[in-house]
Chain A
């Protein structure tokens, strides 16, 4: 056990280095820039054998990863915001080719208006691209998730690319305490990458990415969908063995003081930490509040969520991106779909867009609104509607 203090970006770069990736292809964009920056330093220092490919765009970064991974190389990249949007086309190529590429998405608002700060609109914009998405609360989780991501991705039952999301600046640029694994432990955990089919296999020829006519396309999509369904189990199994190694056990979601709570939040990312502190504070005052932190957003952990929300009277789903659906954010839509009209009442808050700071007092405000909702009062949210905004000037 190595105690250290690192920023989220340093931690992820270190995880990538420790795994001795074959290829990293990246193009810089705030706030993920530091990851390829630290990484290229490792390469320059001879601390890793990875081939670093400085490309001319994010589209090329992902394309290079696809080519490398198809050839049989363990590949990775990192990006944010518009960079991820530019990758969009090839993200679906990576997942449909079933290439277990891993990526760190350092989440940042999608322009526009132009903004470099954190929200989840970039990651949410690619949520349907067939990548597994894991969200991290802090630097430790970004590091741990990244190490697990490689094994999850490469598991024959999954064979899907994995995106490890962490909050731009909030965790990417904040130095925090972290517990690291020794490099040999990580390499042992990640194992040797030996895909069943790869282009550089001299013993057996293989063609990747043939044209798929309508008589075959749907069967391949159904197969890919099954991989996403099966990856729930894979994530659990890999997380279990990571827990056995480190003592840090992760589930698809984390239920925090949720069991007997009448009011619950559902959140992603760093807000969970801030909210846990508020939950503790309110619990001390006798209030039955709790929260659910979604770790795996893709695949969406329906069963675990239904179980975790079971006893609450009302649940506020916090979306750090505006889905522009006129019906709430993307996380809200998935939670609604998971519950299918059963269970507690669901309300949605759009919050923290473009770096709007999420303070404990905002989280308290949500819990107060929920109390009003339960008691049937005109809520302080100024609306009885289920689709609300938090901390926006009226």
Chain B
């Protein structure tokens, strides 16, 4: 299972962290991978810290435990950096992606002790400029693809286009908007 990719998501209840993890599972599945996408449930309240996980592999995944030593960590809400140890167990050869308007150096300084790569993306800015509202999901999903290189970017975009067409069959304007978000986000990950 050495080629298994393990990802941990941190966010707050209501930010669609579970949905993002399931979307990643979807898109990886579409490219022929074995996947797992699952949330860690706790007291379910708006704003409470939420964790979700992904495993992606070329072989059948049988491990049903949570992920303790992820290859990658995604932080959907940067205020969590204060309250949650987001780098716990994170592999030094891996990377962390944080949704913030600050650059990687400033975030790295807040993640004392993490020797690996620190990446940032301003999901709020991208989402608000292109969709007119704050949906951090899509920029973060694109950011994860960029960070993990789990699949080719064009393959990712093509697959997302199919998924979104299915999901927003009755709201076609959402398809083009979200596709623009994904394309732009792939180019706006800082610290690569």
Q: How far is the CB of B157 from chain A (nearest CB, A)?
A: 19
Q: How far is the CB of B37 from chain A (nearest CB, A)?
A: 4
Interface string of B2-45 (1 = CB under 8 A from A): 00000000000000000000100110010000111111010000
B63 interface residue (CB < 8 Å to A): yes
Q: Are A176's CB and B62's CB within 8 A?
A: no
A116 to B43, CA, bound (A): 9
Known: A5-B25, A5-B29. A273 touches B64 (CB 8 A): yes
Q: Are A5's CB and B39's CB within 8 A?
A: no
Q: Are B37's CB and A174's CB within 8 A?
A: yes
A270 to B62, CA, bound (A): 8
B65 interface residue (CB < 8 Å to A): yes
Known: A5-B29, A359-B65, A360-B65. A277 touches B34 (CB 8 A): no
Known: A5-B26, A173-B41. A138 touches B35 (CB 8 A): no
Q: Are B41's CB and A357's CB within 8 A?
A: no
B1 interface residue (CB < 8 Å to A): yes
Q: How large is the interface on A (under 10, 10 to 19, 20 to 34, 35 or more residues)?
A: 20 to 34
A171 interface residue (CB < 8 Å to B): yes
* Of the residues A31, A138, A177, contact of B64 by C-beta under 8 Å: A138
Collect the chain B residues with CB atoms within 8 Å of residue A181's CB.
Answer: none
A156 to B61, CA, bound (A): 38
* Of the residues B22, B34, B37, B63, contact of A274 by C-beta under 8 Å: B63
| Residue among B22, B29, B39 having the largest count of chain A Cβ atoms under 10 Å | B29
Q: Are B68's CB and A359's CB within 8 A?
A: yes
Q: How far is the CB of A220 from chain B (nearest CB, A)?
A: 41
Collect the chain A residues with CB atoms within 8 Å of residue B60's CB.
Answer: 177
Chief secondary structure at chain A's binding surface: loop
Q: Are A174's CB and B64's CB within 8 A?
A: yes
Interface string of A273-287 (1 = CB under 8 A from B): 110110000000000
Interface string of B36-74 (1 = CB under 8 A from A): 111101000000000000000000111111101000000
Q: Are A170's CB and B64's CB within 8 A?
A: yes
Q: Are B62's CB and A273's CB within 8 A?
A: yes
A358 to B41, CA, bound (A): 15
Extra A-B contacts (8), CB below 8 Å, given A117-B41, A175-B26, A357-B66: A5-B26, A169-B38, A170-B38, A174-B36, A175-B35, A177-B60, A177-B61, A274-B64
Chain B positions near chain A (C-beta within 8 angstroms) = 1, 22, 25-26, 29, 34-39, 41, 60-66, 68
A-B contacts, 28 listed (Cβ < 8 Å): A5-B25, A5-B26, A5-B37, A7-B38, A31-B41, A117-B41, A138-B64, A169-B39, A170-B38, A173-B38, A174-B38, A175-B22, A175-B35, A175-B36, A176-B36, A177-B29, A177-B35, A273-B62, A273-B63, A274-B62, A276-B62, A277-B1, A277-B62, A358-B65, A359-B65, A359-B66, A359-B68, A360-B63
The list of the 9 closest CB pairs from A to B, nearest first, reads A174-B38, A273-B62, A270-B64, A5-B29, A175-B37, A359-B65, A175-B25, A357-B66, A273-B64
